[in-house]
Amino acid sequence: MSDSQIFHDSEMDLSHRAKWLTKRVAVYGVLIFWTIICLFPIYWTITTSFKIAPDVMQGNMIPWVDFEPRWKGWKSLGLSPNTIFTESTVRDEFIKRFMNSIKTSVGASTLALILGSCAAYGLSRFNYRFGFMRNSDISFFFLSQLILPPVVLALPFLVLYKKFALLDTSLGLILLYTLTVLPIVIWIMRDQFSSIPVELEEAALVDGLSVWGAFFTIILPIALPGMVAAFILALVLTWNEYFFAALLTSTDAKTLPVMVASQTGSQGINWWSMAALSAAAIFPLVVIGVVLERFIIKGMASGSGK
């Protein structure tokens, strides 16, 4: 037909484009600015672990441009390429603390997940009466533990653990950490379970499964993503916990944060080795954060549903 354009962009729409562009620039500017705020400390720590004294003092920032990266910090930890196969007491100490941290955080998160998902499932499906306590009271009883600040329990636990010979043991820490993350796990899992239709279990029961059988074979597989989310959130919180670990452990069960904290005080600040230690301490969680970001966000988002 005719080649002439019927619809023209009006003047207003054309000016709109420039406005849109400035808005884009502003948005990305803010985003990039905040990304720098979030990531610069990590970048700084990792680069510092490869610096030597003059580099630190001159404030050199960019490896290979400003300064030549050295393995000095990692060498003092016994983790550099040329020391990795030799004896190193620092490395043994580090590995021990690292394993302690893994043991306590994984142990506590697992225990909390088991206790928490069972409780959350029960609360989302059945009506209970324990004396005067009904479902809402039981839920409140669990969630109210969140308000309890750790200090309140810290000193009584110190005395009790001394009596029970649980001081400076991983078991003691695991029990306490389980207590602190249990409300969060229950919160997330209750949300998960109430989003699963009851008809699924009813069908399973008709097919002859018991209540627990239906829970294990039907419900748990469906709720698995939620469980992973709860587990990771619990893992992050327990891995980073410092207060109880500093108070209740001294030699055997000391965790990584306590080791990092105790290094800062002594012998002035040894920049490169501290940087290497911090980098090694945050490394596992950075990896988890990058790989499993989806689950973490899911976990926290399900909490906001209420």
Footprint of another protein on 53-92 (CB under 8 A): 56-59, 61
Q: Does 222 engage in binding with another protein (CB under 8 A)?
A: no
Contact between residue 150 and residue 187 where contact means Cβ atoms under 8 Å apart: no
Residue 118: what residue type? C
Residue placing its CB nearer to another protein in the complex, 85 or 126: 126
Which residues in the 250-269 window bind another protein by CB under 8 A? 256-258, 260-261, 264, 269
Q: Does 141 engage in binding with another protein (CB under 8 A)?
A: yes
- Give the SS3 label for residue 223: coil
Handedness of CA 139, 242, 248, 150 (dihedral sign): negative
| CA 59 and chain centroid, separation | 31
Residue placing its CB nearer to another protein in the complex, 3 or 27: 27
Residue span binding another protein (CB under 8 A) among the ranges 5-13, 73-81, 222-230, 234-242: 234-242
Residue selected from 2, 10, 22, 304 as contacting another protein according to rule CB under 8 A:
304
Alpha carbon distances (Å) from 99 to 94, 105, 107, 165: 9, 10, 12, 21
In the bound complex, what is the minimum distance in angstroms from residue 5's beta carbon to another protein? 27
Residue placing its CB nearer to another protein in the complex, 14 or 269: 269
Place of tokens 């100490």: 93
Q: Does 95 engage in binding with another protein (CB under 8 A)?
A: no
In the bound complex, what is the minimum distance in angstroms from residue 135's beta carbon to another protein? 9
Q: Does 189 engage in binding with another protein (CB under 8 A)?
A: no
Residue placing its CB nearer to another protein in the complex, 176 or 227: 176
Rounded to the nearest 10°, the torsion over CA 52, 53, 57, 60 is -10
In the bound complex, what is the minimum distance in angstroms from residue 38's beta carbon to another protein? 5
In the bound complex, what is the minimum distance in angstroms from residue 244's beta carbon to another protein? 10
User: Is 260 exposed, middle or buried (CB count within 10 Å of its CB: 0-12, 13-18, 19+)?
Assistant: middle
Query: Angle 135-143/89-125 helices, nearest 10 degrees?
Result: 160
Q: Does 163 engage in binding with another protein (CB under 8 A)?
A: yes
Residue selected from 52, 90, 243, 270 as contacting another protein according to rule CB under 8 A:
243
Q: Does 8 engage in binding with another protein (CB under 8 A)?
A: no
Which region, left, alpha or beta, applies to residue 5 given φ > 0 means left and ψ of -120 to 50 means alpha? beta
C-alpha to C-alpha distance for 242 and 255, rounded to whole angstroms? 8
C-alpha to C-alpha distance for 105 and 242, rounded to whole angstroms? 12
How many chain residues interact with another protein (CB under 8 A)? 105
Q: Does 149 engage in binding with another protein (CB under 8 A)?
A: yes
Q: Among 106, 116, 115, 108, which residue's Cα sits nearest to residue 188?
A: 116
Residue selected from 50, 71, 94, 121 as contacting another protein according to rule CB under 8 A:
121
Residue span binding another protein (CB under 8 A) among the ranges 11-19, 52-60, 62-70, 81-89: 52-60
Residue selected from 14, 21, 99, 152 as contacting another protein according to rule CB under 8 A:
152
